[in-house]
Structure 1
Amino acid sequence: MPTSVSNSLWLRRPQPEQSPISPTRSGLVGLEDSACSKCDHTLALYPANTGGDLLVFLRALLGSVCVIAASPAFAGDTPLYQPSPAWVTPVVLADATKSGGTSPVIVIFDMQQRIENGRLWSYTDGATRIASPEILAQAATLALAWAPDKGDLTIHELSIQRGTQRIDLLAKGQKFTVLRREESLEQRMLTGILTATMAIEGLQVGDILRLRSSTSAKDDALGGRVQNVAPILAAPAQIGFGRIRVSWPVSAAPQWKLLANGVKAVPVTKGAYTELTLDLPAAKQPDMPGDAPSRYQHPPLLELATFADWADVSKTFAPLFDTKGAIAPGSPLRAEVDAIKKTAASPLERAQRALELVQDKIRYLAVGMDGGNYVPQAPARTWELRYGDCKAKTVLLLAILRDLDIASEPVLANVGMGDFVPERLPSAAAFNHVFVRAHVGGETLWLDGTGSGSRIGDIRDTPGVGYVLPIDAAGAALTRIETHANARPMIDLSVDADESASGDLPSAFTATAIVQGPAASMLTLAKSQLGEKEQREAVGQFLQGFLGEGQYTDASIVPDPVAGVVTVKATGATTSIWRTDDRRRKRSVTRLIDQMNFDPDRSKT
């Protein structure tokens, strides 16, 4: 008999896809948002689960150089070749290979850092045993990435140890070749990253390949403050010699925090400096169920920062989001704001129109060059270019709202790990996104310029990012966003199916889906760029997760820019959802239910 099913997929407005934690060599992370990872091209040095792909880890170990700071000081577009800094305590390779009969692939993993005069110096020594042809294939080509406008890449040693013979590759004239390429354009990012590459000549199975390098970084946007996030390699990883060593002047001690189980460290004063040393690998970390809250899913970390508290972080960012004089008289942007004043009567309508303007008229593109990891693009420049990232869109939206006499301020957030923020050390490194908190008629509105399709009905939607830090010249404390259901579902699907012929035969159906958000943007793009046949295929792929495999006789995509939605309609036939269970014929109300799973591990409490 005919059946009619209506399903609304109520999701929070999709948040930017982020790696939960991407610790960096310098620890100076940036703010970023939709469709990309980190604005400052952070590099995860090793997987959170040390039982992950060893070859991937080894590639990161040998090629883990990424300079990220907002200052152009010490900048260079070619690697430097110099001895290691005097404060470094080098490791003797012969000592590292004394491993009691075992031969770990990771012979040396040594990270040393110094915080001094508002600068973070980072030194890495990595030695890998080429134990198999697979490892040889991975290690034979090095690729070191760095941002030339933000710091130098300095190579101290590149050598091969073959038995008792040490082969100095740099002395033999091998040098890195520098490539300029934008690898993140698909994620709408311009990073300016350079990549130094080298194909290691003569490397053989049984050799030990060693690379020692360092970077220096100072971020003027942080007002002389320094921060660092160092991942801690834990068991069951095996290392010949592993260490994290951090030092700072006795008179200028940073705050530090260990975010790891079973790991302890005691600072030791040596002359004018204090040292904190961790031996690696650390104790094996507890196994967490896959559905545990994100605050339990982070890798073991060592954090250091010279921020006093969260209020200090808030105050530090306030000058970067100052909008005074941002909208010049007679400018094109002034005309847009005046149009909102004329056509929108209430403050709530004006806030929605401002958000719609920033979302719809400014496309997303992250620019991490020239200090772009923390410093936002000027509103007038963003309007001229018609692109910007989360910082640029936020400061533009702030300028418009404030000109409309709507009280508002930016808030820092961590998409993906928002509930982990209160446990972290106060620093800018705890965040990867920024958007706006507005105050209208006694209500608090959370407005994200990097979203899409927000209309007046969505103005009260709440982002599920956990804790945020308001940016205020007087300082502010962490605030938790209390969420509620969105006003509209992201997908509202209605299906009329005729199953009267047989429970075993395909069912004729008519489906209508009202879509908003990023999915609506993709469908609009498909409508504008694809032919009729390709559009029908796109609709089929979109509906497959809800209806299963099917054949479509008709399909349409109808954008509605006023409502900020796209209506998808399709007719056709789909495979039967009926099944036999214990000699009874059964069917789910919808295939969506089959996709839902709740299977907590009660043994891990």
Structure 2
Amino acid sequence: MIVILIGINLLPTAPTFGQPRLLQSVTPQWVESIVPNGGRPEAKKISDGYYFKLLDYQLHAEQQVAYTHVIREIVNESGVQYGSDISVTFSPTYQQVRFHELWVIRNGQRINALQVDQFKVVAVEQDAASFIYNGDYSAYLVLDDIRVGDQIEYSYSIAGRNPVFEGRFFEDIYLQGSVPISQLHSSILVSPSRPLKVKTFNGAPAPVIRPVGQLSRYQWQFNMVEAVQYESYTPSWVNPYRYVQLSEYADWEAVAEWAQRINPVPAAIGGALAAKADDLLRQSAGDPKEFANAAIRFVQDEIRYTGVEIGEYSHKAHQPEDVFTQRYGDCKDKSLLLVSMLRYGGIDAHLALVNTTLISKIGDQLPSPSAFNHAIVRFKIDNKPYWVDPTISHQGGDLDNRSMPIYGSALVLEPAASELESVVSNQSGKIKCEERYSLSADEEALASFTVETIYSGHEADQLRSQLA
């Protein structure tokens, strides 16, 4: 008989920081002035009670500043409810927000509503339920006295880019949204010396490129952009929006080189971590498979999954000795720890980057660090490759029958890595249920009913985790 237990998970307290400050300044001189000239969408195409009269996004790649200019028009009471707030999310460890203007336009009259000190700046840990803390903050303002027919116009700049990317440029430019856009403008100022690759998706046009002084401006302009209606049960790898990718990474090899620079595998480990590895080696009597299995179970089950991904640690892993001591880490922390332990035991092991949403469709993307959202491990014993996700706990089985999620393609961080590699998945788990009835010829005798359920593979892992 199997008894299902219900447990309560207690979230750890999110890290705290000094309160970030917002600034006020004039519009940057490099910004191209866009005059609103779009019409109004049909009423039946406005689902949330408002639309964007203007959505203007301009990026200066060399100064690492992104400028946004919005005019939002409220068309009914639902728009008053859903369109009267302003919210800007940023990472204060390397970004700064500067507001330029905020107007409420009513009956042709412009009312200046910009008071930077009225904004509330709060920590937003959207992934806290998954034990991931990235240190992002949101500056938000609930506007007073917004009415049907009002237009809310505001602009701001976010200065700064994560230093983990070493100044290399890549960006996704979306040319559609979930709300109708009367007039859309997007542009990027970039040095011609950057060898940018451009790829368009879902009918998005290539940019118009023209010189601006010593720079080049990549530009897109549209009127009457319809909202995208997202359908239920759409596969995770389907992105229905028109968008454009730009990247100065020449190929996957360039991405792998960057990833290996920021996450080098230590040449050696020592201290308590080495002592633990030695203990596992003794227990496995030198058998590489037994050692690998023991190391995997240790990292999966005794290093809890919690990520503090602030600043450059969004992509940079903490040192294996630190992760071992603190007994927690995110996917890249746990993967680098496992790789270090496996190499200590003489096993050829490497970090591998995957995308759990795009899966095998990742090959359709332009090479860049943003193509990946998860780290796993690939290692070889007797020249046979094995794949493991160190963030999965309560896994049973041995190396040859351990379950492995469907991750599609991976970029293995090994020397001269230049292509994506297929991840060998194992989802062969089953649930076998057998019911036995024992009845007597005597109508007044007791009957027995026995249920035996056998879980195997990933089904067993899932139940094991649930019971724990």
TM band (smaller chain): 0.7 to 0.9
Whether the 8 Å CA contact 1:326–1:378 is kept in 2: the answer is no
Q: Which has the higher contact order (CA 8 A, sep 6+)?
A: 1
SS at match of 1:371: helix
1:294-309 correspondence to structure 2 within 5 Å: 295-309=237-251
Whether the 8 Å CA contact 1:233–1:282 is kept in 2: the answer is no
1:211 to 150, 154, 157: 154
Whether the 8 Å CA contact 2:181–2:226 is kept in 1: the answer is no
Whether the 8 Å CA contact 2:365–2:371 is kept in 1: the answer is yes
Q: Which runs of 5+ in 2 are unaligned?
A: 1-17, 441-447
Whether the 8 Å CA contact 1:158–1:209 is kept in 2: the answer is yes
Other-structure match for 2:79: 135
Q: Is 2:87 the partner of 1:169?
A: no
- Displacement after TM superposition at 1:396 (Å): 0.3
Other-structure match for 1:225: 168
Other-structure match for 1:259: 201
Other-structure match for 1:89: 32
Distance 1:141 1:254, change over 3 A: same
Aligned equivalents of 2:388 and 2:324: distance in 1? Answer: 18
1:432 to 349, 373, 383: 373
Q: Is 2:431 the partner of 1:492?
A: yes
Whether the 8 Å CA contact 1:160–1:168 is kept in 2: the answer is yes
Other-structure match for 1:583: none
- Displacement after TM superposition at 1:365 (Å): 0.7
Aligned equivalents of 1:435 and 1:281: distance in 2? Answer: 44
Once the two structures are superposed, what CA deviation does each residue of 1:421-456 show, in whole Å capped at 9, x if it has no partner? 111111011110111110101210002111122344
Aligned equivalents of 1:389 and 1:86: distance in 2? Answer: 41
Aligned equivalents of 2:225 and 2:72: distance in 1? Answer: 22
Whether the 8 Å CA contact 2:57–2:186 is kept in 1: the answer is yes
1:452-601 correspondence to structure 2 within 5 Å: 452-459=393-400, 461-483=403-425, 485-486=427-428, 489=429, 492-496=431-435, 498=437, 510-514=451-455, 516-524=460-468
Distance 1:100 1:308, change over 3 A: closer
SS at match of 2:398: helix
Distance 1:283 1:213, change over 3 A: closer
Once the two structures are superposed, what CA deviation does each residue of 1:488-519 show, in whole Å capped at 9, x if it has no partner? x2x53413165999xxxxx9662535353244
- Structure 1 length normalisation: TM-score? 0.66
Other-structure match for 2:93: 149
Aligned equivalents of 1:262 and 1:220: distance in 2? Answer: 30
Whether the 8 Å CA contact 1:446–1:462 is kept in 2: the answer is yes
1:21-420 correspondence to structure 2 within 5 Å: 77-93=20-36, 95-96=37-38, 98-99=39-40, 105-116=51-62, 120-170=64-114, 175-180=118-123, 182-233=125-176, 238-261=180-203, 263-280=205-222, 295-325=237-267, 327-328=269-270, 331-344=271-284, 345-420=286-361
SS at match of 1:516: helix
Aligned equivalents of 2:52 and 2:439: distance in 1? Answer: 65
1:433-448 correspondence to structure 2 within 5 Å: 433-448=374-389
Whether the 8 Å CA contact 1:313–1:475 is kept in 2: the answer is no
Whether the 8 Å CA contact 1:288–1:297 is kept in 2: the answer is no
- Displacement after TM superposition at 1:407 (Å): 0.4
Aligned equivalents of 1:207 and 1:454: distance in 2? Answer: 57
- Displacement after TM superposition at 1:467 (Å): 1.4
Whether the 8 Å CA contact 2:119–2:141 is kept in 1: the answer is yes
SS at match of 1:250: coil
**Larger CA deviation: 429-438 vs 146-155:** 146-155
Aligned equivalents of 1:518 and 1:147: distance in 2? Answer: 35
Distance 1:476 1:86, change over 3 A: same
Whether the 8 Å CA contact 1:238–1:281 is kept in 2: the answer is no
- Displacement after TM superposition at 1:318 (Å): 0.7
Aligned equivalents of 2:228 and 2:132: distance in 1? Answer: 36
**Larger CA deviation: 431-440 vs 268-277:** 268-277
- Displacement after TM superposition at 1:291 (Å): 7.3
> What is the one-letter code of the residue matched to 2:140?
T
SS at match of 1:252: coil
Whether the 8 Å CA contact 2:181–2:225 is kept in 1: the answer is no
Whether the 8 Å CA contact 2:228–2:240 is kept in 1: the answer is no
Whether the 8 Å CA contact 2:437–2:450 is kept in 1: the answer is yes
Percent identity of the aligned residues?
Answer: 22
Other-structure match for 2:4: none
Distance 1:295 1:201, change over 3 A: closer
Q: Which runs of 5+ in 1 are unaligned?
A: 1-74, 502-506, 525-605
> What is the one-letter code of the residue matched to 2:301?
D
Distance 1:244 1:518, change over 3 A: farther
Whether the 8 Å CA contact 2:103–2:114 is kept in 1: the answer is yes
Whether the 8 Å CA contact 2:40–2:53 is kept in 1: the answer is no
Whether the 8 Å CA contact 2:253–2:419 is kept in 1: the answer is yes
User: CA RMSD for the aligned pairs?
Assistant: 3.1
**Larger CA deviation: 339-348 vs 477-486:** 477-486
SS at match of 2:262: helix
Aligned equivalents of 2:305 and 2:41: distance in 1? Answer: 54
**Larger CA deviation: 160-169 vs 278-287:** 278-287
Aligned equivalents of 1:470 and 1:109: distance in 2? Answer: 39
- Displacement after TM superposition at 1:367 (Å): 1.1
- Displacement after TM superposition at 1:225 (Å): 1.0
- Displacement after TM superposition at 1:224 (Å): 2.5
SS at match of 1:384: helix
